[in-house]
Structure 1
Amino acid sequence: MAEHKKVLSFLDSSIEWGIICLIFFTPIAFSTVEVWSEAVMEIGVFLVAFIWFLKIYLQGKVFMVDNPINLVIVSFICLVAFQLIPFPDFLINIISPNTKRILDFYTSGIFGTFNFKTISLNPWATKGELVKLLTYAMVYFLVANNFNGRGRKNRLILSIIIVGSIEAFYGIIQYVSGEKMIFKFSKMFHATDRLISTFPSADHFSAYIKMCIFISMGYLIYISEKGNNNKSYEFDRAKRKRGKRRTDSFIIKNFIMSSEKDFEKKIIIIFAIVIMIVSLIFTKSRGGILSFFLSSLFMFMLIIFRGTLKGHLWILILVTTITLILGCWIGFVPVFDRYFNVSIKEELEEGRFSIWSSTYNIFMDYPAMGTGFGCFEYVFPLYSLRSNQAWVNHAHNDWLELLSDTGVIGFTIILLGVVYLSIFAFKKVLLYKNDSQIWIFLGGYTSILSIIIHSFVDFNLRTDANPFLVSVVLGLLVSFLNKSVPVMRDKR
């Protein structure tokens, strides 16, 4: 019996540290956009999944967190798999007439008959995206079902904060020094005058670092409130004995009432947040910085709503002040130049707006189930409005690309997931006003909100490190939502 428990404990630790290692690997390995890094990520995830299945087998029971988000993920995967099923011509003509028409046109001169066709116009591309989807889904299920204890959650969050700090610090050194290579291995072909760290694009790095920032902010507020709540009880009792009214000052609340360990942790996390915000600013990503401010405004409103603005104002002032000092030292002028040198005419005629218009036309031709997940770059040339946009690999709008790839059905599935998560977030705010741990949940929710907003003007979720982190955070949020009500089923 003791040996059995030791084995299960070892498997639990293997799952935990396997996920943590992948959290470090995915951004540092060139944001997992290379073929080799994608393969390592996928193999690593399924090895950890194998350990989880082995643990389930040894336990004799399946412990699964039951949540509507599970249904959203499984439904979307089933939709993409459905796009790969060969159907008779008459069914394809009913489901998507334009799919049949275009496949008939391109296969008319080929010897043989093609009486069965898939909804996906490029099944090979859709298969590749399906493998990635399964990988991210497995990450979500691993985190949601294996990171239930407070200690494990804390280690997972600290891992995200550490890797975000490493990425930000490396990016700042890279930007200030004018380095043109990533780790001396890969040349920076894009945005050489912007901070990109280990990512192929400054915009995609900004999306990643924003998530790390909000998770760090949520954790910082959590440890501040937790420390104050633990210390204030004895402090209150002593004052009541003396018959004095409690009027704690800033210094008493945040320094005298904080243990040495908590105080050091706060300072380190504040420093990490400052470094990450500075790196975000010097990405010069318009969409990234705008979505950061909008998401920060949302978090600020949550602080006001919960009536804790006075207690956390010192954090906001300190972070803002240090960020401005460090930013001024590096130099803000190039950042402002990129904002003031925007050509509205160029953006409308040759930039994102032109691509969005073409993408919308794709959706209108394939409204129900799209052209196939991952098929955008193969279909877009047929709809391009300009000759200089003959090859565009993504729509620079994840939401529009989702519509063109999966149609109304796929878009609705994802939208329902976002709506459900948002409703639960606000419900948590209302029901758990005195629970400091709610800030970890709200920090994670705000991190996902930031990338949702940013995805209206970019394709951040097509860089593998970003959806990987989204999967981790989503699993963490679901583990908070259902930490006390797992579903148990006998494996037999």
Structure 2
Amino acid sequence: MDMKARTLHPLPTPPPSIDSPALSPWKLIKLRYALMADRFVEVGLYGLIVLTPLAFGTVELWSIAIAEVMIFTIALVWGLAMLSDGGIRIERTAMNLCWLLVLIFGLLQVIPLPLQVIRLISPKAAAIYQQMEFDSHLAASWHTLSLVPYATRQALVRMLALALVFWVAVSHLQTRDQVDRIVRVVMTTGFGLALFGIIQHFAGNGKLYWVRELTQGGSLFGPYVNRNHFAGYMEMVIPLTIGYIVANRRPISDGTWDWRSRLLHWGTPQASRSLLAFFGGLIMSVALLLTGSRAGLFSFFCSILFMAVLFSSRRLRSKQLLGMLVSFVALGLTYAFWLNPDRVLQTFAIIQLGTDDPSFHGRVLIWQDTLRLGHDFRWSGTGLDTYIWAFPLYKGPLVDQDEYDFAHNDYLQAFAEGGVPLMAILALALLWGGIQLLNGWSRHEGTHTRGIGLGLLAGLVAMLVHSAFDFNLHLLANAILFVLLLALASRLLLLRRPQASASTRSDFP
């Protein structure tokens, strides 16, 4: 096979050994720091994956602060390691421009501007400021495009943290072993959360970890206050698990795989890992079904359909893989039905209601009011993370609650908070980035890259679908996992160098 197709982005020429007598003391210090930094960054990413969902999905101020401190510390160590090696290098991907545009746009929302300028950009914001202003020198006052600049500054910090997660992961995870390790950490975390959620479902007392009361309501599942957000986490991990199984399968070629070869294959470590992943995926599928999340289940089936379409494509046509996918879904449904048939039947009954469901009508009313809000602030938005303050100005009389933190549709909320500019950036990321990732996947021939890449893309598709019905990406735990999947997909499918040395032949076959 052509070496270009076998290696995406090999590591540079290995540095001299620490024990080499040719190293000067300064070079020895830099080499030791580089090795420690590599280990610190990798372990730090593992910590983010494991700890953020356990901290109730990282939605409270204390858990958000801890996660952000972890991210900035990891980024600092990573940056210092690159500086000691000659300068900071960030891999070029289709998403870099989108991250920068979002950060710049958010910064513009919190820069004070004269009221005359704000009136040109956002007449509605200027009118609100005029109603609030009692100073006779109104023309000289300065305001921000964001109605609540403090909230927007907090959102900017979180966006910067997520961008750093993307840049660190896409630049640091360069070898096949690194990618496999972090994928296994994600799958193990998902399996642990699923097992915890199932046990809690049957033996819970209505409290988080059997200890903490739900002070503001909710429908908990596992460590999450909202079962829909737990489902959002699962729907990203399950497709990745299926992709891992595909990546570790033994290809059948020219009819040489007889019954004896099949029997011997089941005793290999590769087959053992696939069996463990298959079992873990089933447990996660059962947990997803037991949540009763309609949007989660619908998004999961969309990701399965996406995988089936790619399995049926000319580049990866395989009846064996399609059969595995059907068996996986069928076994998951059967096991969940055996554990709790009432919950499974109730979930599918609610899905069958469709637009006749009263809760769906309530969300439609919220979406309509959100569209009016976005239309009035279409060129500037109300400011990142200001929906909770801006929406009451547009809430219709038929909407029952007085306060809404989120629009239950991340795209409409992005339109309200960022207007047309933010929607244009999102469209650029979805279209440009999505096309590049799909093209990158279709070009690769290696079983490992195609399998893992398939799982990553399907997990991203599931969350993008779910975001049309909920606000999963406003939970830092789910957002971090989504960004990590995006970084891994960019690493595997887009980044490669024109020539590979023999020492790096096994990086990304």
TM-score, reference length from structure 1: 0.89
- In the alignment, what sits opposite 2:382? 371
- In the alignment, what sits opposite 1:479? 491
Asked if structure 1 preserves the Cα contact closer than 8 Å seen for 2:449 and 2:493, the reply is: no
Q: Of 392, 401, 412, which aligns to 1:381?
A: 392
- In the alignment, what sits opposite 2:83? 57
- In the alignment, what sits opposite 1:266? 274
> What one-letter code is carried by the residue in structure 2 that aligns with 1:380?
F
Structure-1 separation of matches of 2:182 and 2:316: 28
Q: What secondary structure sits across from 2:90 in the alignment?
A: strand
CA root-mean-square deviation: 2.3
Structure-1 separation of matches of 2:107 and 2:436: 29
- In the alignment, what sits opposite 1:99? 125
Structure-2 separation of matches of 1:317 and 1:331: 21
Asked if structure 2 preserves the Cα contact closer than 8 Å seen for 1:359 and 1:401, the reply is: yes
Asked if structure 1 preserves the Cα contact closer than 8 Å seen for 2:52 and 2:58, the reply is: yes
Asked if structure 2 preserves the Cα contact closer than 8 Å seen for 1:218 and 1:441, the reply is: yes
Asked if structure 2 preserves the Cα contact closer than 8 Å seen for 1:15 and 1:51, the reply is: yes
Structure-1 separation of matches of 2:65 and 2:359: 36
Asked if structure 1 preserves the Cα contact closer than 8 Å seen for 2:115 and 2:141, the reply is: yes
- In the alignment, what sits opposite 1:219? 244
TM-superposed deviation, 1:359: 0.2
Q: What secondary structure sits across from 1:290 in the alignment?
A: helix
TM-superposed deviation, 1:216: 1.0
Q: Of 467, 483, 492, which aligns to 2:479?
A: 467
Q: 1:201/1:195 Cα in 2 relative to 1: closer, same or farther (>3 Å)?
A: closer
Q: What secondary structure sits across from 1:396 in the alignment?
A: coil
Structure-2 separation of matches of 1:280 and 1:374: 29
Asked if structure 2 preserves the Cα contact closer than 8 Å seen for 1:396 and 1:459, the reply is: yes
Q: Of 221, 226, 231, which aligns to 1:206?
A: 231
Deviations 1:419-454 (A, max 9, x none): 122212321243224544122122111111111111
Q: 1:406/1:255 Cα in 2 relative to 1: closer, same or farther (>3 Å)?
A: farther
Structure-1 separation of matches of 2:305 and 2:201: 28
Asked if structure 2 preserves the Cα contact closer than 8 Å seen for 1:72 and 1:413, the reply is: yes
Q: What secondary structure sits across from 2:390 in the alignment?
A: helix
Q: Equivalences for 1:150-299 in 2 at 5 Å? A: 150-188=176-214, 196-224=221-249, 227-228=250-251, 246=255, 248=257, 255-257=263-265, 260-299=268-307
Q: Equivalences for 1:70-109 in 2 at 5 Å? A: 70-108=96-134
Asked if structure 1 preserves the Cα contact closer than 8 Å seen for 2:41 and 2:78, the reply is: yes
Does residue 320 of structure 2 align to residue 311 of structure 1?
Answer: yes
- In the alignment, what sits opposite 2:53? 27
- In the alignment, what sits opposite 1:399? 411
Which segments of 5 or more consecutive residues in structure 2 lack a partner in the other structure? 1-22, 499-509
Structure-2 separation of matches of 1:333 and 1:42: 41
Asked if structure 2 preserves the Cα contact closer than 8 Å seen for 1:291 and 1:453, the reply is: yes
Q: 1:253/1:222 Cα in 2 relative to 1: closer, same or farther (>3 Å)?
A: farther
Q: Of 442, 447, 457, which aligns to 2:454?
A: 442
Structure-2 separation of matches of 1:31 and 1:403: 25
- Compare 256-265 and 452-461 and name the one that shifted more: 256-265
Q: What secondary structure sits across from 2:248 in the alignment?
A: helix
Q: Of 390, 401, 411, which aligns to 2:402?
A: 390
Structure-1 separation of matches of 2:257 and 2:316: 16
TM-superposed deviation, 1:316: 2.4
Structure-2 separation of matches of 1:95 and 1:255: 69
Structure-1 separation of matches of 2:29 and 2:163: 32
Asked if structure 2 preserves the Cα contact closer than 8 Å seen for 1:228 and 1:257, the reply is: no
Does residue 346 of structure 2 align to residue 334 of structure 1?
Answer: no
Q: 1:461/1:189 Cα in 2 relative to 1: closer, same or farther (>3 Å)?
A: same
TM-superposed deviation, 1:255: 4.4
Deviations 1:347-391 (A, max 9, x none): 465x10110011000011011121101110101111111262321
Structure-2 separation of matches of 1:218 and 1:290: 19
Deviations 1:88-126 (A, max 9, x none): 111111111111111111223799886111100000111
Which segments of 5 or more consecutive residues in structure 1 lack a partner in the other structure? 237-245, 487-492
Q: 1:307/1:151 Cα in 2 relative to 1: closer, same or farther (>3 Å)?
A: closer
Asked if structure 1 preserves the Cα contact closer than 8 Å seen for 2:441 and 2:493, the reply is: no
Q: 1:428/1:258 Cα in 2 relative to 1: closer, same or farther (>3 Å)?
A: farther
Does residue 93 of structure 2 align to residue 67 of structure 1?
Answer: yes
Q: 1:337/1:464 Cα in 2 relative to 1: closer, same or farther (>3 Å)?
A: same
- In the alignment, what sits opposite 1:431? 443
Q: 1:256/1:228 Cα in 2 relative to 1: closer, same or farther (>3 Å)?
A: farther
Structure-1 separation of matches of 2:348 and 2:220: 15
TM-superposed deviation, 1:36: 1.2
Structure-2 separation of matches of 1:103 and 1:74: 29
TM-superposed deviation, 1:247: 6.1
Q: 1:357/1:24 Cα in 2 relative to 1: closer, same or farther (>3 Å)?
A: same
What is the aligned-residue identity percentage?
27
Q: What secondary structure sits across from 1:61 in the alignment?
A: coil
TM-superposed deviation, 1:254: 5.2
TM-superposed deviation, 1:320: 3.1
TM-superposed deviation, 1:265: 0.5
Asked if structure 2 preserves the Cα contact closer than 8 Å seen for 1:139 and 1:468, the reply is: yes
Deviations 1:105-161 (A, max 9, x none): 122379988611110000011111111111111111110110111111111111100
